Structure 1
């Protein structure tokens, strides 16, 4: 096995000739079989990495780009230099599946971006952001703050934005307690509540206080106190957690899940995405958590 590969995985040099490396060839056949049977490139890479299957003398770390190159490499069918490792039927079936997944991902991305159009806000000023397209840049897509005084523009591909959102959604799905808002610290009664309280006291001091008025004012004050607390958010969080408990982590952006949980998201100048849930909680990931090359973003399907 070479420290740095100059020939495709699955082959080695022996007496100046390119020959099949049988242990690697077995991995290649397994990769094709798993992919044809429905496994994603990412899940295959994770499994091989977990099993510490060496890719080279220097690395036993696999990623979806390496798996994709193997799936797409026609040399495994055999030619004048390389002996065949897989059958033509397997190669064609894998190629057809890859094409179908690419088309499906493209359609899902379109639907996801349409959903986000009215949900992206500027992390600097909170104003809505508008999606722009320019063919002059490697990354065509960008989001521009609608506030002329702010004018922040973030260049981020659709696939990156959806993937960052998906990662944060999966974090919520795996940790539903994140939806629970922090309890507000006790604070002084608002002017409205104080005014209602004075009105109740004044009525009680009358010789013939009105029971109906006192009851009405008490109910009004209770409603004000409820609005000023986060009790309604706690109830919403409880309902949301039950909904999340029925969800499973996703490999692609899920519009239904997003609609159920997220009110809007903010986008920062460094491409950082923060989800703002319907329970008034902010969910943020690490900076540049899934920044990737645009081509690599789309390669998994």
Structure 2
């Protein structure tokens, strides 16, 4: 199967610690890189993860709290130093334009590429990016300021041709696209070769949901139903549930409950509060509800 990896570059919350970097992830789909949030030190973590700066396609910012976007100006400056020339598109709340543009005009006025900010409405569930193999749609989240997660979903794939059968029946190139789309093959003498004899089922289309800062909200469940891997913030444990709710965050148990309701394949929890020196407390709490849970950690590469 072609590459679909989720790289964790940072999974801490707002208060800096020696344990974690702020929120940053990179989704690698067929060597095309998509950055999710951009906390401080993102360019350093990009290098540590051995990701290629030249393959960065777009950046998606969930919301405009500093631990999710303070790394942008440094990262953009690094791209310029490395010789990027192609435009960089950032999907974010419209306010990013007035916040980031003055920094770009001052620090990056000689950049060899343009930075384009494409705003989205965080309260809507809509497709904001699409190419021939992928869609990215927003997931409305409930935080203290407008916030949206992102759902990466592969498009349904065509069936795969069985090479030996193609050669045996000497199927012309002009007929192969139709066969991959489900057509039978008709030989010159009128004999019909069934499609099932010529193809293998397509690889399953994969999906990844990134749900950053949010309270517990079952409204997102229909949007992420059946997702292969779900990242859901788990800033607190249930012992601090009142504070989690008042601060616009979720607990590990709540993240697990969302994964369970959505029939997710796997849950990754992160955005850990600095008050917890041992993150295994989050894992124990989540696994009681959703056993297939793992902890986010810098350097983790989850392969879908």
Q: Same fold (TM over 0.5)?
A: no
Higher normalized helix content (fraction of residues): 1
Higher normalized strand content (fraction of residues): 2
TM range (shorter): under 0.3
Select the structure of larger CA radius of gyration. Answer: 1
